[in-house]
Structure 1
């Protein structure tokens, strides 16, 4: 059996040797997150379970895989052209049978050492061909400034909470240095300075009306308490997380 995985390869360069001698030492490697964009089995198209997507990750000697049900992970090693994935541990969520069967099928593909052809950018281990691209090429991270961000959840320490019923809370960055948040009891706006992975918030004057719904009043307070002073932020695909201390706001792109 042959498994061909078409890869986007990361190349790392190491120099070694004594002074005056140079070894470019180009060492191709698998690194980062990948999305499987096509599958064939025995040369024929193989459809993944409807509504699922296969993802592979390679980072710090750890291999990860998700295919719509459980997450699987284990060690991996590359020795020359041989890729060896260690025994896979898996979460134990109950899923519809087609998804669980797909998990088992994929785990079986990596149950034996695979051979990497670095020039062709393939991994051979069966009759299955997985075509993959870097995650960022398939699902790029959304732009902070040109996206409508809808509040999807809140965190405080290790506790996560949902957004209470009511109008959606929407964050928009206007231009490069002004943010407006709609959907709160009281209007919210702020001048901002974005640098690296941080945002400095300088809130505008705002009304302080009491909300009719106590839960929405608490939401108003929580949002405004995070969006002040210095915060960190990160964007992964369509998710924006803004954190100040141990409190955080999670937004989704729409």
Structure 2
């Protein structure tokens, strides 16, 4: 059974994240070839645009929190729900901020305050000791009646989780205007060709959206879950 109008609700109130996720999924449709014809009307709408509340993220892992958000949205809307839980993991900080990344400063979603606090905490450490990575867990939850069914009409699996990582290191001064969150102080190991040719190390915030999506933690997780989304909604 196909979701009405191919709509999938993304469990976020961050419109910047929705734009990034839409770009990743559309690129994945092209890479999968037939996916574009299978899902020509795929439409992503955010939970924020629908006026849905944020559920309490009571999980202790990225996977648990992504699933909490997707399940809540699927239950409230009756539509397939896609959620991700992402965060920055800093080795020298014992894997913090981790699942608390978005509210590290005490206020959820205050990117500038989160970055200021993290920079204050690492200000006296050399860059050589600031190995870090972004981690994303993407969860897809299907409501009753959507997805694969067996010969007896019984619904198959309804919950799916995939993960992605982007390795790199932190710097002490923000650089770049793209992206959001900790992007201005994170330098990915996997640099674009233009940076390598120029001998530069670009932060995630200095990458174009296309460059970032091609290597990002979120890009890897969503690309892994895209074939399941196509199969479920076809």
| Interval containing the TM-score (normalised by the shorter chain) | under 0.3
- TM-score, scaled to structure 1: 0.21
Higher-strand-fraction structure: 1
Structure with larger RCO (C-alpha < 8 A, sep 6+)? 2
Higher-helix-fraction structure: 2
